[in-house]
Every structure is written in C-alpha cells, then in structure tokens.
Amino acid sequence: MPITPFTGSYTSDDVHFLLKPVTLPDTPVYIKEALIQSGEKHYSQMLTHESLPPDDYLPLFYQAMALNQDRMAEHVLRLAQGILARRPHGITLVSLARAGTPIGVLLKHVLKQYFNIRTQHYSISILRDIGIDQNALRYILQSHAPESLVFVDGWTAKGTIARQLASSLKAFEKSDGISIPAELHVLTDLSGCAAVAASSEDYLIPSSILNATVSGLVSRSIYDKDNAGPDDFHGCLYYRQFEQHDLSRYFIDEILGRVDNLWQGLTLQHHNPVELNLEQLQKVSQKFLKSIAEYYGITDHNYIKPGIGETTRVLLRREAQLLLLQDLDSDATRHLRWLAESKSIPIAVFTDLPYCAAALIKEIKL
C-alpha cells in the first residue's frame, strides 16, 4: 500500500487513521444539499469546510461534559466488557470515522489499563451507498485475523450504517474470500441494530456536539472514485489550522479520568453486559419513521434523522427543515436549541417523541 496511516492530532498509541489527507474545495451547505438531492453528486464527493465553534457555543460542550461524562464513562466500561465477552481470543478495534473514533480511542486505553488487553486501533471510512473502505480492510488484514475485528461507532440512529456494514462485508467476502463478523459495537443503540451496546438511551454524548476539534482534527470521510487511485484509502481533510483550539486529547483524558473513578468505586468490575430488547427497539424505530413521514409528507426516510447525535449532525452540516424535541427545556438538547435559533430553524415539541430529539432535512424542490 502506498498510503501510510496517520494519527491526526492523536498519538500513535491512540489511533491510526486509514484515511488519505487531501484538499477539497469548500461547498456551501445549500449547494451541497441541492446536488445531493438532485442525484448529481453523492454527499461523499463534497465537503463544507468547518469553522471553529463560536465563543457562545463552546460552553455548551463543557456543560455537556459536566452533565454526561460519568454516564459516558460507565458506558465505555460496559462496552469494553461486552467486546471482551465476544472476542476472548483477540481484539482489533476498527472505529468508523469519525463519530466512532473518540470511542475507539477510549476503548483502546480502557482495555489496556483495566483488562490488560493490548489492541491496535484503526479508524476507517464507511459511507452510505458507497460502503466500507475495502483498501483499509485489506491493510488491517495484513496484520490481524478477520475474526478479531471489532467495528466501533458512537451510536445507531435508524441503523443505516449497521446495514451498510453488513452489506459491505458481504461484498468483501465475495470479492476477497475473507469473512469478517458484521457486528457493530456502540455506546447507545437506538434502533436495535448493534451487536453490542452499553445502552439504548438517547442521551447527549458530549463529543457529538463538536466536529473536527474533538475528533483528531479530521473531517468526515470523503470519496470520489474518479479522483481516487486503485490502492488509495478514502480521503479526509486535516484541519491543521485548528491545532491551538483542539479538544480531542482533553476529551479523552477527561472521560478516562471518570472511568478511573468508576473503576476505583468497584461498581462495574464484574457487571454483566447489558442485554437490550432489539426487536422492541426496531419496532419503535420503524413506527417513528412511518408516523413522521406520514405526518410531514416526507418521501424519503433519509430525510428523517432520529436521536440527539444525528440531529446534531443535521444542524451542523445539512439544510434542516425542522427540529423536533421531546422537551423544550431539556438540558440534553440545549445545544440543539442554540443551533436551531442561530439558523432560524423552526422547533416543534412532541411530548410522545420516542427520542429526545429528531431533525428533518429540508427537501429542496428542483
């Protein structure tokens, strides 16, 4: 492979990104949305360049840390235990860039410090409708057994990435003759599509509030087959200009500190992994999508984004039509209200919403 891994703003003991740093022109959100919805371009071919979070938005990240870092630390520990139960003979962490990257970094350190398990951690690209980066998989499989791979993400929303992972690995088995367990491991599984999850709560994972500055200064992954070599990894932008404002290491250190407090309290050392009712979660997800689509006349479920994490992504990176909230005054969605108000996005409250928040993407009539 001509491309070598890089670490972003993390260290080599944290992660190796199997992504190719590239340059890409800035595509404004409204133009990107029109090109995506017209089918003229896939979202992975374009990127709206990030800016630093505004001064009055950044405090919301620290508030989210104060409110949720203990819960997240507990879930990282539970997720590590669940992974160990399914991979007793070796673990290779493969986080899905980029929401999965901080989770993978945390798991790598937790497994080493508390379970004496040394792992390698890679972060690779997976894109809806495009699939997983097969060159990245081949790179990993040069050094690691297929059955050791553990795919890590932050959360599930509708289960799109879980299904994309399964179909991608099925295609990889057909093309390369190698079978890899199509199992997704997440902190919280809203749609009942993960193999292992620490929770099914729709809660505010603090890293979801920010973009590159909490993810190793790496953009979401990008891919344009017309400009990619046959051996290239999927691409990314590296925001070197944000180095003085990077919070990636701060986030890891803070959560690991809370993990240590929990461990010292002896409350989780022998706790069994959480068993979720996947069938019920799937029913709730499908009922929600159907009812919202009917109520608002939405023709494509891709325009409906349930859960705090996905809603945050929409408000940060897409053209949103509407923000749906379960509770207008919830601390968990304070940052969403800020984003909606700053962009003049209407807010609707539904107290029977099965999630804390959801977002509808604006359908652009062309």
Angle, CA of 91, 132 and 125, to the nearest 5°: 80
Please state the pTM of the whole predicted model. Answer: 0.95
> Residue 69 to residues 104, 203, 252: CA-CA distances in angstroms?
16, 11, 11
Q: What is the residue-level pLDDT of the chain in tens, covering all 366 positions? A: 445 679 999 999 999 999 999 999 999 998 999 999 988 998 999 999 999 999 999 999 999 999 999 999 999 999 999 999 999 889 999 999 999 999 999 999 999 999 999 999 999 999 999 999 999 999 999 999 999 999 999 999 999 999 999 999 999 999 999 999 999 999 999 999 999 999 999 999 999 999 999 999 999 999 988 788 889 999 999 999 999 999 999 999 999 999 999 888 755 555 555 689 999 999 999 999 999 999 999 989 999 999 999 999 999 999 999 999 999 999 999 999 999 999 999 999 999 999 999 999 998 865
Polymer length of the chain: 366
What pLDDT score does 275 carry? 80
Report which of 65, 67, 103, 309 is spatially closest to residue 186, judged by C-alpha positions. Answer: 103
| pLDDT value of position 364 | 81
State the residue for tokens 């992660």. 15
What is the distance between the alpha carbons of residues 111 and 117, in angstroms, rounded to a whole number? 5
Q: What is the per-residue pLDDT for 269? A: 52
Find the angle CA(144)-CA(149)-CA(150) to the nearest 5 degrees.
Answer: 150
Q: What share of the chain is helix, strand, coil (3-state, %, to 5)?
A: 45, 15, 40
**How far apart are the C-alpha atoms of 164 and 339, rounded to whole Å?**
29
Query: Are the beta carbons of 309 and 64 closer than 8 angstroms?
Result: no
What are the boundaries of each domain within the chain? 16-264, 278-361
Alpha carbons within 13 angstroms on the beta-carbon side of residue 230 total: 0
| Spatial distance between the Cα atoms of 43 and 36, rounded to a whole number of angstroms | 6
For the domain 278-361, what is the CATH code?
A: 3.30.1330.30
Residue 349, CA atoms < 13 Å, CB-side half-sphere: 7
Buried-state track 180-214, b at ≥16 Cβ within 10 A, e below 16: bebbbbbbbbbbbbbbbbbbbbbbbbbbbbbbbbb
Q: What is the CA radius of gyration of the chain?
A: 19
Give, to the nearest 10 degrees, the angle between helix 58-86 and helix 248-264.
60
* Cβ proximity of 47 and 23 under 8 Å: no
